[in-house]
Chain A
């Protein structure tokens, strides 16, 4: 099979899956899942624990085998060369990273440039510029010489986010990017995503903070390995489905022109 090493820009869709099925350890995690995500938008994946959201993100990142079809900018994912895939799609893992504790913050963020570098080559001026820009965007520049292991959980998360941004990919897949972030930095993250989308990038994030997910352009509810519902943030049917999928343990209320999900204690 000939591999694709360029992706045309005409596609309206950034991501599309058809009959996507994934088995892990003989358990069907994703089952005939179909979705489309528009280019230049922010899509939040929500759903209960074990619904298959992280698995879906890993498939879209090209790191998990699957059955069915996955298209990136209307090109089959399996046909992209590894380098093109790694340059165009960046993925942020939800697992805490401990083994990079001895690397400096700058070196960790520079790892995001691996897809752009020759195997034996050093970093180029463009690589250094991308790393500095990513550190600025995540307000992490002041720790650039510190070892990752000396930072707090939230600070580490911002450095790993900077590593993701340094890839300068068109599609950014983030699995629970707000873990460990305090409210001001959660707000910063929302502003950052808005800026990325304004630049034409596509952001797909798994979020457990439903109120923050309700800032996204589109929300996709994943449950039992399938898409339960996909809709815009103001869609009343979407709100009902969110309440349903979380067994009415949350209720969504309007606050100004926004929506807030609060726990239902009764």
Chain B
């Protein structure tokens, strides 16, 4: 029996309802996103009659709108996985060093251009996205090797912090030697959906589907881990395998997101919190809900980033950092008041 009356009474209707509401809000945001461009807001229907406008809609607005949605989805999912895996509500998707790895990847690529014709040819093939993704994955692998595997959560956390700081310092050092790359580096650090193409959307959609499916398949393990690793082991859960799979999901989702849109802060951290503030549910629901919440948050942030000062555009990462920081301040105060 898969679903009993008891299950229906317990949290699932709110979770399902929240999923529907978030889904509807995402659709509305996408429609609004398609209607906002450098000329400000234009009703979507009026764009169809003008071939140039239709071209802009198809080539520019659609991929970046869906790109924001998918990046947010990946970050929300990765945030929920990170917080469940590390049993820490402040864990974020870049905890294992993927962001600084991606940043170093980009710095190496930019510095490497023009060093030799062969190197330049290879670097062009790799592209910014490829370099950022490889940097992110290598950084996570470096964290794993420093932590000597996935056995100890605290070791993993510390190794992630060390890798983050050291790789960040290396990127800064590279930027100092070649001041001409500073502008490109800054664009990456601020985060933007402006460069997302249809092929990037396709890659992100495939990774999102794979990571969500794997996350839901291992959700029962994440629930078990909430009682502590020793209790999870006593319940027969394969804790080491579970950690390895969850870290793979985390690395793939955060690496793919950061490679395509740069550093976008707080979406991964705040999305699971927002979901948990609305419903109390198991990870089988929390993961897709946090993903939907992330998709909605980043789509909204992207909409504001493009629409607030049109035709000027704000970097979306700056907007999410401001909004996310504000949210965390509020959360901290609320918790402080509750405890007192």
Query: Which of A14-22, A94-102, A212-220, A237-245 contacts its partner?
Result: A94-102
CB of B237, distance to nearest CB on chain A (Å): 7
A-B contacts at CB below 8 angstroms, number: 98
Of the candidates A83, A85, A103, the one whose C-beta lies within 8 Å of that of B226 is A103
> Cα distance A145–B280 when bound, in Å?
9
Closest to A121 in B: B2
Within 8 A of B (CB), among A45-99: 58, 61-63, 82-83, 85-87, 89-91, 93, 95, 97, 99
28 A–B contacts, CB within 8 A, in A order = A63-B230, A63-B233, A86-B234, A87-B236, A91-B230, A91-B234, A97-B226, A97-B228, A99-B225, A99-B227, A103-B223, A106-B6, A107-B10, A107-B11, A108-B227, A112-B235, A114-B220, A114-B235, A114-B237, A115-B235, A122-B2, A123-B1, A123-B7, A124-B1, A125-B1, A125-B4, A144-B10, A167-B235
Across the A-B interface, give the 3 residue pairs with the lowest CB-CB distance, nearest first. A86-B236, A99-B87, A100-B226
The answer on a CB contact under 8 Å between B217 and A90 is no
Any A CB within 8 A of the CB of B224: yes
CB of A151, distance to nearest CB on chain B (Å): 12
The answer on a CB contact under 8 Å between B234 and A62 is yes
Closest to A98 in B: B87
Any A CB within 8 A of the CB of B16: no
The answer on a CB contact under 8 Å between B235 and A145 is no
- B10 surroundings in chain A (CB, below 8 A): 104, 106-107, 144-145
Any A CB within 8 A of the CB of B276: yes
Any A CB within 8 A of the CB of B178: no
Size range of the interface on A? 35 or more
The answer on a CB contact under 8 Å between A111 and B235 is yes
- B334 surroundings in chain A (CB, below 8 A): none
Any B CB within 8 A of the CB of A208: no
CB of B223, distance to nearest CB on chain A (Å): 6
- A132 surroundings in chain B (CB, below 8 A): 6
The answer on a CB contact under 8 Å between B227 and A104 is no
The answer on a CB contact under 8 Å between A93 and B235 is no
Closest to B225 in A: A99
Any B CB within 8 A of the CB of A147: yes
The answer on a CB contact under 8 Å between A119 and B220 is yes
- A82 surroundings in chain B (CB, below 8 A): 236, 238
The answer on a CB contact under 8 Å between A103 and B237 is no
The answer on a CB contact under 8 Å between B224 and A114 is yes
The answer on a CB contact under 8 Å between A95 and B228 is yes
For chain B, the count of residues having a C-beta within 8 Å of the partner chain is 31
> Cα distance A128–B7 when bound, in Å?
9
CB of A45, distance to nearest CB on chain B (Å): 17
Q: Other than A62-B234, A86-B236, A123-B7, give 4 A-B pairs with Cβ distance below 8 A.
A: A61-B234, A63-B233, A93-B230, A144-B10
> Cα distance A112–B237 when bound, in Å?
11
Any A CB within 8 A of the CB of B148: no
Any B CB within 8 A of the CB of A120: yes
> Cα distance A3–B238 when bound, in Å?
16
The answer on a CB contact under 8 Å between B226 and A63 is no
> Cα distance A125–B4 when bound, in Å?
7
Within 8 A of A (CB), among B180-229: 217, 220, 223-228
Any B CB within 8 A of the CB of A163: yes
- B234 surroundings in chain A (CB, below 8 A): 61-63, 86, 89-91
Within 8 A of A (CB), among B231-273: 231, 233-238
| Chain B window 76-100, contacts with chain A (Cβ cutoff 8 Å), 1 for yes, 0 for no | 0000000000011000000000000
The answer on a CB contact under 8 Å between A104 and B280 is yes
- B226 surroundings in chain A (CB, below 8 A): 97, 99-100, 103, 111
> Cα distance A108–B226 when bound, in Å?
9
- B2 surroundings in chain A (CB, below 8 A): 121-122
> Cα distance A89–B231 when bound, in Å?
12
> Cα distance A115–B276 when bound, in Å?
27
- B238 surroundings in chain A (CB, below 8 A): 82
The answer on a CB contact under 8 Å between A115 and B231 is no
- A89 surroundings in chain B (CB, below 8 A): 234
Within 8 A of A (CB), among B1-36: 1-4, 6-7, 9-11
> Cα distance A123–B2 when bound, in Å?
6
CB of B70, distance to nearest CB on chain A (Å): 26
- A90 surroundings in chain B (CB, below 8 A): 234
> Cα distance A63–B231 when bound, in Å?
9
Counting chain B CB atoms within 10 Å of each CB, the highest count among A63, A106, A115 belongs to A63
